[in-house]
Amino acid sequence: MDATSRRAAEQPWRKWYKTADWQRLREDVLIRDQFTCQMVGCGDFVADTSRLVADHKIPHRGDWDLFWDINNLQCLCKPCHDGIKARIEARTLRW
């Protein structure tokens, strides 16, 4: 089993990101946050929405309510999401 298949099997909630409902919610978050990264110290406006992420403030880890809660979502630019935010979340997963 390759890494993608293994991750899908271990984290079935990943398919939620492929739904039309998620795409609408993501768009609502980007519009609400005016296409501006909400990471403290960044604040970049990014017109190209492919470079923006609707990020879960509190990691949902498969929790349906946290996943779909618009108040738990914020707009982040890809560099902040994949860098700073990823490092913060990785630290919380360590025992």
pTM here is 0.84
> What pLDDT was estimated at residue 60?
92
CA 75/CA 7 separation, integer angstroms: 25
pLDDT for res 71: 98
From first CA to last CA, the distance across the chain in angstroms is 27
Q: How far apart are CA 75 and CA 72, in angstroms?
A: 11
pLDDT of residue 95: 41
Q: Can you list the residues of the chain whose pLDDT is less than 70?
A: 4, 93-95
